[in-house]
Each structure stands twice: as structure tokens, then as C-alpha cells.
């Protein structure tokens, strides 16, 4: 009996126990029990992280049971432990534990905490099954499970109509993504005859011959074309695009992003855990997990790149004018996810995961800090009605500052200490992403250059809206009503202590883990084949080590280069690949955003109109979030409802019934009249008579026919 499954199942125990325990021993018991269980899982996750990834590499897969099988289709319950899943285990369990802890304070006065903690733990469990899946089906199980938990938690305050609307919207928009995801899985099964990661990826790595169902001959999988919806397509591209549609839904990428801002209707700890640090990164995780597919489907990778880049730009632009503190952070999340995607699309999977990792720290910190502000300000979320909060919440102010310098990227470009760039977590990881995108663009990867440009522009806007939030909320004169100013709501310690580790992470996680995640010299050993790399699997390569020795993608995208040198040598190398201005560009972009923000919001009335005047075209366009909601409502939601009604009344009612039973009825009206009278009398008589009647009739017909035949 292995213990590893506990890292996934402890939170499930918490989810199951919370409600009964809350009933039997009071809400406090439920809160503590579920928090402790997730805490244990977090500790164990770190143990596994050291075991699997940091020490001698020790990846393994633990098969628990067959989930379902039919013919050659088989899906298992399993626990895949490799560096990629170990990183996710650590992120998910740690943030979840801190959010559980924080929630004990945050949810105090809202009541119903056992239900809340049950949902949080359920989410954690589902997310863990997602990241530890060793096949697409279990991944899909976790995928839908986190969607369910997200639905339940967004709609946690079910009295509010807006919360219910947001919850349904989140679920349905995600289902649009799942539409693609499910077809993608079916495509994988159709091409490979399996949905297991090892099988699928090793076939791709070896460029083995795949014979899709029903075909007589196959082809090497990288060249294989399949017919999908009446056209012949490159198989891996179709699969990659379909899977990415799923990722777009879950990770709120452009076109399928509309649910994420609305999801802020949920309690703030939920926003931090699910809609910032973990669930929304599942799409990035999926693309990284499927690196073997995307590396061999350039068009699909290009789509990932451009969608990610556009999302990074779009969401940051909308974030500029949001007044709800949570919505600012939500659009920021959306934008940062875009960064991760275009990194992955550009082939820098390590960089994508690195940003996912650091983002979990600083974004959870920003959300939970915002939660403290909201509590203190008597549930006010409009930053225009705040100001001067730093005097009320000095400690929160410092934490939020840390989060802000992390996300905007404060550091010293070009300075390396102990082999890592010197700067906040966001500085390090965002720089790596932008450099990788630039380098990938230089080597000709589609849209990577555009992604670099859009990413830089987004970085300007990120700095602007992040500092705008700080300046409007914490600095300047207070615009809050007097009773709020005089008597801010008490923020308990349990809402402050969990933020400390996050703040530490937001500052140093980038420097601490740079080497492992992205430094070409060390990352290969760290990732240990979790990512596919073209060099390790050039078709000329023999097929002997297929599926075992996936080398990591080179995040600095220098395919021809070998990386034998030490960290010091590496600096020079990366300077070789990217010109100096690229190294400085993100930093300058940060200044280009932060300085105007300071210029505008720190002098005079911060609420005076700035460059974008209300009523102006650009202002309204951004304020209305590029009108996506309105367009979808007009194009999709209303028509669906109208068509449904039309089909019901006209299709079923008039056409089918009108011709069918109702039309027929005119001729059998007399018979029907008799049936009406049937309500009187003993029913079983009728039943019996009818039964006998049918029997006799049938017997008569059959015997006559038989007799006639002989």
C-alpha cells in the first residue's frame, strides 16, 4: 500500500467530513478539520516535490484502478508523479492550505462555513486529480470537477441573483471549451487508440506509425492526416487546436474569457484560490502536459501563441479602467494567463510553468490582500470610494505593495546573483517569458515576435493598473464615508498570517527557483523529460529511447546550442541570443506604466479624468470590456432561447402534434370521447380486457397466417 494517494485524497476527506462535522461539532470543528487535512496534504506535496523533482529524479505512476473500459478504450484512475505534476501539487496544496486558513477569518461573519470549506476542499481534490492524471480521461474528470467546485463557490451566496447568474455563466462558458476538449480527447483516441499520456506521447516522440480507427494503413504520426468534419487535416494540429479550445475556456482566454470577471461574485478567498492561483492555470498545465503534441503541430502552437498574446493585451487594457478592486485583479489574472500561454505556444514550457508558479504567489497575495481591504471597508469594493487605506491597514498595505512590485516586475535587469536574475518573482518569470518569446520569434516561430510586442505593451498597462489600484486604494486622502474611516472593520490575524508566506514567495520565488525551472544548465535535470523537445526527438534519432528521455524545451529557444556551461556561462549565452535592449525592455515597460500612474494619481484629484475621457470612444470601449458580453448575448444567448421557444411551440406543437395526434384525433374523436368516460368504473377490468383483447387479436392474426402458409 503506497501512501502517495493521500496527497490527493486528504482534501477529499475534508470535503466529505466538513458538513457532517459542522452539524455535529459546530462550524469551527469543520473549518479546522478541513484546513488541517489540506495542510497535511500540502506538507506531503512538498515532500513529494523534493522526492520527485529536486533530489535524484524519481518520477513514477501509481495505478489505482480501471475507471472504465470498453473494447480497446480504457481509462484508469492513476497518480502520475513527475516534475510537472509535483510542481502543481505544491502550488495547489500550498495555496489551498493558506486560503483555507485565511477563510477562517474572512468567512467568520458570513456564516455557513462548513459548506464553504467543504466546497474549497472538494475543489482542491478535483484539482489534484487533474494534475496527477496519467490519461486524458482522468484529466477531464478533474477538469469538470474543478468546474463544478467553481460553479458552487461563485454561487456560494445563492440569494444574490448576480452570483447565480455568474455561476451558471462560468459553467456554461467552460462547457463551450469542454466541447472542444471532449472532441480533442476523442481525436486522440481515434488516432492513437489510447488516451494514456505515456502511450500517446511516446508514439509522437518516436514518430511511430499510427493507424486511425477504420483505416487500413497509417502513417508516421507527425505526418498523419485525418479526416475531420469532411476535410483532411494534419492530425496533431486538429487535436492540438481542439484541446486548446478546452484550455481557453478553463483559463479564460480571449473569446471564452467572459466568465472570469463575473466569477468575482464569489467570496474573495475563492477568487484567490480558484480564479487566480490554481484552476484557471489548468489550461496552461494542459498545454504544457501536451507539449509533445504542440511541438509537432506548429499551427496549433501558433494559435496558442497568438491567443495568449492577444489575451495578455486585451485583459490588461480592460484592467486599466476597472473600479472594482477584485475586477482589476481578475483582468490582471486573465492577462497574466495570456503570458503563460504565449510562452507555451512559443515552446518555452518551462517559462510558462515558471510564471504559473510565481503568479500563484503574487496573485493570491493580491487577492487575499484585497479581501482584507474589502472587509475593513465594510464590504466596499469600489476603489474610487477608498483612498488612504494605508493608514488603516499598514500591514496589508505593505503586503499589497509587495504583490504589486512582484507583478509589475521590479528588479535590476542584467544583474545575476547566485546564477539567478535579481528581482521579484514576477520580474524574473515575466522577463524569461518575454525573452523566450523574442528568441523564438528570431528563430521563426509563428507569432512569437508579435507576442513579444503585445506582451511588452501589456506590461506597460499592467504596471499602470497595478499602481493605479495601489494609489487609489491606499494612498491619498480617504474618500470613504466617515463611519468607515473612523471605524474600519477589524481584520483578524488569521487573515494576515497566511499572507506572509505568499509575500515571501512573491519576492524571492523567482530567484530561488529560476535555476530549476528555466536555467538551461539545470532545468533539464529538473523537468526530467516532462516536456517534449524537438532536439531529443529528431526523427533521425532512433526510436529506442522513445517515451523515456524527453528533454526539456529550451526556454531560451536556442536549438543548436549546447548548455554544458555553468550558470555564469549561461548569462553570456543568453546575452548572445537576445540583444541587451530586450533584457531591459520589460523593465522600461514597467516604468512606462508606473510613472504615468504616479503622475496622474498622486498629484491633485486622483479621480479627475485623465487621457481617456469618459464618453470617449476608447474609454467606453475599454469600460465595456470590448463589448464581448453584449455581443455574445445578442448573437448566442438570445437566439438560443428564442429558437428553443420556437421549436417547442411551432415544431413540436404545431407541426408534429398538429399533423400527428391532434390531426388524427379529429377522425378518432368519437373513440376518444369514449375513452374520456373511462374514468369511471373499475380500471383493472379495462386493463384486463384490453390485455386479453390484444392477446386474442395477435393470436388470431398469427394463427391465420400460419394456417394460410401451410
- 70 sits near other proteins (criterion: CB under 8 A): yes
> Of the ranges 225-233, 397-405, 474-482, 601-609, which one interacts with other proteins (CB under 8 A)?
225-233
Contact call for residue 648 and other proteins (CB under 8 A): yes
Task: Give residue 648's Cα distance to chain centre.
Answer: 36
Candidates 1, 538, 544, 706; binder of other proteins (CB under 8 A) is 706
Q: CB 383 → other proteins: shortest distance, Å?
A: 29
Residues 29-58 that bind other proteins (CB under 8 A): none
Among 319, 313, 320, CA closest to 339: 313
**Pair 246, 187: CB distance under 8 Å:** no
Q: Which is nearer to other proteins, 193 or 319 (CB)?
A: 193
Per CB under 8 A, which of residues 565..594 are in contact with other proteins?
A: none
- Please choose, out of 91-99, 182-190, 473-481, 489-497, the segment that lies near other proteins by the rule CB under 8 A: 182-190
CB 230 within 8 A of CB 217: no
DSSP string over 650-706? IIIIIIIIHHTHHHHHHHTHHHHHHHHHTTSS-HHHHHHHHHHHHHHHHHHHHHHHH
Closest approach of Cβ 533 to other proteins, in Å? Answer: 30
| Residue 172 binds to other proteins (criterion: CB under 8 A) | yes
Considering the rule CB under 8 A, would residue 183 count as an interface residue with other proteins?
yes
125 binds other proteins (CB under 8 A): no
Nearer to other proteins, 151 or 331 (CB): 151
Q: Which of 58, 61, 164, 478 binds other proteins (CB under 8 A)?
A: 164
Counting contacts by CB under 8 A, is residue 161 touching other proteins? yes
Stretch that binds other proteins, among 502-510, 523-531, 594-602, 696-704 (CB under 8 A): 696-704
> What b/e sequence results for 84-100 when a residue is b if at least 16 CB atoms lie within 10 Å of its CB, and e otherwise?
bbbbbbbbbbbbbbbbb
Say whether residue 20 binds other proteins (CB under 8 A).
no
Shortest distance, CB of residue 225 to other proteins, whole angstroms? 13
CA 414/CA 437 separation, integer angstroms:
18
Alpha carbons 462 and 510: distance in angstroms, whole number = 18
**Residues 606, 493: Cα–Cα separation, whole Å:** 31
Name which position in 9, 46, 67, 422 contacts other proteins (CB under 8 A). 67
Kindly tell me which residue out of 213, 581, 627, 634 binds other proteins, with binding defined by CB under 8 A.
213
Smallest separation (angstroms) from other proteins to the CB of 136: 11
682 contacts other proteins (rule: CB under 8 A): yes
Total site size for other proteins, rule CB under 8 A? 83
Contact 72, 193 (CB under 8 A): yes
Q: Is 660 in the site for other proteins (CB under 8 A)?
A: yes
Rule CB under 8 A: choose which of 91, 182, 503, 571 binds other proteins: 182
Residue from 65, 544, 560, 611 in contact with other proteins (CB under 8 A): 65
641 lies in the site for other proteins, by CB under 8 A: yes
Residue of 20, 111, 539, 644 that binds other proteins (CB under 8 A): 644
Task: Scan residues 230-249 and list those touching other proteins (CB under 8 A).
Answer: 230
> What is the closest distance, in whole angstroms, from the C-beta atom of residue 693 to other proteins in the complex?
9
Q: Does 500 bind other proteins (CB under 8 A)?
A: no
Instruction: Indicate which single residue of 28, 66, 575, 595 sits in contact with other proteins (rule: CB under 8 A).
Output: 66
Which residues, other chains included, contact 449 with Cβ-Cβ below 8 Å and sequence gap of 6+? Answer: 437, 438, 441, 442
Q: Measured between alpha carbons, how far is residue 692 from residues 428, 546, 559, 698, 699 in Å?
A: 84, 70, 83, 10, 10
Cβ burial, residue 549 (10 Å; 0-12/13-18/19+): middle
Q: What is the 3-state secondary structure (H, E, C) of 493-534?
A: HHHCCCHHHHHHHHHHHHHHHHHHHCCHHHHHHHHCCCCCCC
Contact 89, 476 (CB under 8 A): no
What's the closest the beta carbon of residue 107 comes to other proteins, in angstroms? 18
- H or E element, residue 268: helix 268-272
**Among 281-289, 301-309, 625-633, 692-700, the segment contacting other proteins (CB under 8 A):** 692-700
Measured CA to CA, the distance from residue 601 to residue 580 in angstroms comes to 32
Please report whether residue 595 would count as binding other proteins according to CB under 8 A: no
Among 162, 379, 575, 699, binds other proteins (CB under 8 A): 699
Task: Report the alpha-carbon angle 458-462-466, nearest 5.
Answer: 170
Of 274, 311, 286, the C-alpha closest to 166 is: 274
Of the CA atoms within 13 Å of residue 128, those in its CB half-sphere come to: 28
Q: Is 709 in the site for other proteins (CB under 8 A)?
A: yes
Q: Does 647 bind other proteins (CB under 8 A)?
A: yes
Shortest separation between residue 701's beta carbon and other proteins, angstroms: 6
Would you give the end-to-end CA distance of the chain in angstroms? 71
One residue of 55, 214, 614, 615 binding other proteins per CB under 8 A: 214
Alpha-carbon gap, residue 27 to 48, rounded angstroms: 32
Spacing of C-alpha 104 from chain mean position: 25
The number of beta carbons lying within 10 Å of the beta carbon of residue 192 is: 21
Which segment (103-111, 293-301, 604-612, 655-663) binds other proteins by CB under 8 A? Answer: 655-663
Considering only 184-192, 411-419, 463-471, 625-633, which stretch makes contact with other proteins by CB under 8 A? 184-192
Instruction: Name the segment binding other proteins (CB under 8 A); options: 40-48, 406-414, 539-547, 660-668.
Output: 660-668
Instruction: Report if residue 144 touches other proteins, rule: CB under 8 A.
Output: yes
Question: Which of 46, 179, 416, 621 touches other proteins by CB under 8 A?
Answer: 179
Q: Pairing state of beta strands 420-423 and 231-234? A: unpaired
CB nearer other proteins, residue 620 or residue 662: 662
Q: By C-alpha distance, which of 470, 468, 460 is closest to 593?
A: 460
For the four alpha carbons of 450, 453, 456 and 462, in that order, the dihedral sign comes to: negative
- 673 is a site residue for other proteins (CB under 8 A): yes
Q: Does 229 bind other proteins (CB under 8 A)?
A: yes
Q: Which is nearer to other proteins, 118 or 351 (CB)?
A: 118
Note whether 675 binds other proteins by CB under 8 A. Answer: yes
- When asked if residue 265 is in the footprint of other proteins (CB under 8 A), the reply is no
Work out the number of other CB atoms within 10 angstroms of the CB of residue 160: 13
**Contact status: 624 vs other proteins (CB under 8 A):** no
145 is an interface residue for other proteins by CB under 8 A: yes
**Closest CB 704 distance from other proteins, rounded Å:** 9
Q: Would you mind telling me the total number of residues written for the chain in this entry?
A: 710
Amino acid at each position: 500500500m503506497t501512501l502517495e494517494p493521500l496527497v490527493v485524497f486528504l482534501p477529499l476527506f475534508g470535503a466529505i467530513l466538513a458538513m457532517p462535522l459542522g452539524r455535529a461539532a459546530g462550524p469551527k470543528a469543520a473549518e479546522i478539520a478541513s484546513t488541517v487535512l489540506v495542510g497535511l496534504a500540502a506538507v506531503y506535496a512538498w515532500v513529494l516535490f523534493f522526492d520527485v523533482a529536486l533530489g535524484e529524479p524519481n518520477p513514477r505512476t501509481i495505478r489505482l484502478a480501471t475507471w472504465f473500459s470498453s473494447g480497446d478504450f480504457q481509462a484508469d484512475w492513476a497518480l502520475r508523479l513527475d516534475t510537472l505534476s509535483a510542481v502543481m501539487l505544491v502550488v495547489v496544496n500550498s495555496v489551498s492550505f493558506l486560503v483555507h486558513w485565511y477563510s477562517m477569518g474572512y468567512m467568520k461573519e458570513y456564516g455557513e462555513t462548513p459548506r464553504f470549506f467543504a466546497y474549497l476542499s472538494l475543489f482542491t481534490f478535483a484539482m489534484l486529480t487533474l494534475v496527477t492524471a496519467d490519461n486524458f480521461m482522468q484529466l477531464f474528470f478533474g477538469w469538470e470537477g474543478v468546474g463544478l467546485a467553481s460553479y458552487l463557490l461563485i454561487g456560494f451566496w445563492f440569494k444574490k441573483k448576480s452570483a447565480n447568474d455568474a455561476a451558471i455563466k462560468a459553467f456554461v462558458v467552460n462547457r463551450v471549451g469542454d466541447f472542444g476538449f471532449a472532441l480533442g480527447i476523442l481525436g486522440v483516441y481515434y488516432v492513437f487508440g489510447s488516451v494514456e499520456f505515456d502511450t500517446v506521447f511516446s508514439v509522437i516522440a518516436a514518430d511511430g506509425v499510427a493507424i486511425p480507427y477504420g483505416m487500413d494503413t497509417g502513417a508516421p504520426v507527425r505526418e498523419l492526416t485525418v479526416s475531420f468534419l469532411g476535410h483532411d487535416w494534419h492530425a496533431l494540429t486538429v487535436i492540438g487546436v481542439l484541446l486548446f479550445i478546452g484550455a481557453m475556456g478553463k483559463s479564460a482566454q480571449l473569446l471564452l474569457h467572459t466568465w472570469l470577471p463575473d466569477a468575482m461574485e464569489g467570496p474573495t478567498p475563492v477568487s484567490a484560490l480558484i480564479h487566480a492561483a490554481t484552476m484557471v492555470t489548468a489550461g496552461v498545465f494542459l498545454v504544457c502536459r501536451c507539449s509533445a503534441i504542440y511541438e509537432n503541430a506548429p499551427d496549433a502552437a501558433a494559435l496558442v501563441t497568438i491567443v495568449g498574446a492577444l489575451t495578455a493585451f486585451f485583459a490588461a487594457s480592460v484592467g486599466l479602467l476597472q473600479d472594482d478592486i477584485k475586477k482589476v485583479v481578475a483582468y490582471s489574472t486573465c492577462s497574466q494567463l495570456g503570458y503563460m500561454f504565449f510562452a507555451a505556444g512559443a515552446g518555452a514550457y518551462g517559462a510558462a510553468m515558471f510564471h504559473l508558479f510565481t503568479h500563484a504567489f503574487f496573485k493570491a497575495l493580491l487577492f487575499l490582500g484585497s479581501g482584507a481591504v474589502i472587509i475593513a471597508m465594510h464590504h466596499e469594493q469600489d476603489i474610487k470610494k477608498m483612498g488612504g487605506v494605508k493608514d488603516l491597514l499598514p500591514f496589508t498595505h505593505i503586503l499589497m505593495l509587495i504583490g504589486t512590485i512582484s507583478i509589475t516586475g521590479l528588479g535590476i535587469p542584467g544583474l545575476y546573483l547566485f546564477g539567478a536574475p535579481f528581482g521579484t518573482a514576477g520580474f524574473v518569470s515575466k522577463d524569461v517569458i518575454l525573452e523566450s518569446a523574442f528568441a523564438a520569434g528570431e528563430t521563426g516561430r509563428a507569432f512569437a515576435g508579435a507576442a513579444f510586442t503585445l506582451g511588452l505593451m501589456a506590461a506597460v498597462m499592467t504596471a499602470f493598473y497595478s499602481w493605479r489600484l495601489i494609489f487609489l486604494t491606499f494612498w491619498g486622502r480617504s474618500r470613504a464615508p466617515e463611519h468607515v474611516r473612523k471605524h474600519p472593520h477589524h481584520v483578524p490575524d488569521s487573515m494576515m498570517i497566511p499572507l506572509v508566506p505568499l509575500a515571501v514567495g512573491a519576492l524571492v520565488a523567482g530567484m530561488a527557483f529560476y535555476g530549476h525551472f528555466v536555467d538551461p544548465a539545470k532545468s533539464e535535470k529538473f523537468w526530467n523529460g516532462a516536456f517534449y523537445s524537438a532536439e531529443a526527438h529528431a526523427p533521425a534519432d532512433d526510436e529506442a529511447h522513445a517515451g523515456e528521455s524527453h528533454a526539456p524545451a529550451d526556454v531560451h529557444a536556442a536549438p543548436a546550442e549546447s548548455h554544458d556551461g555553468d550558470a555564469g556561462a549561461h548569462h553570456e549565452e543568453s546575452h548572445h541570443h537576445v540583444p541587451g535592449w530586450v533584457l531591459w525592455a520589460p523593465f522600461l515597460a514597467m516604468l512606462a506604466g508606473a510613472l504615468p500612474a504616479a503622475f496622474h494619481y498622486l498629484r491633485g484629484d486622483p479621480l479627475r479624468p485623465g487621457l481617456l475621457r469618459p464618453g470617449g470612444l476608447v474609454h467606453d470601449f475599454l469600460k465595456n470590456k470590448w463589448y464581448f458580453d453584449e455581443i455574445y448575448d445578442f448573437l448566442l444567448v438570445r437566439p438560443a432561447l428564442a429558437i428553443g421557444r420556437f421549436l417547442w411551440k411551432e415544431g413540436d406543437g404545431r407541426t408534429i402534434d398538429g399533423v400527428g395526434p391532434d390531426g388524427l384525433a379529429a377522425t378518432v374523436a368519437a373513440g376518444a370521447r369514449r375513452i374520456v368516460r373511462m374514468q369511471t368504473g373499475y380500471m383493472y377490468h379495462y386493463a384486463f380486457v384490453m390485455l386479453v383483447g390484444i392477446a386474442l387479436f395477435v393470436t388470431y392474426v398469427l394463427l391465420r397466417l400460419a394456417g394460410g402458409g401451410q
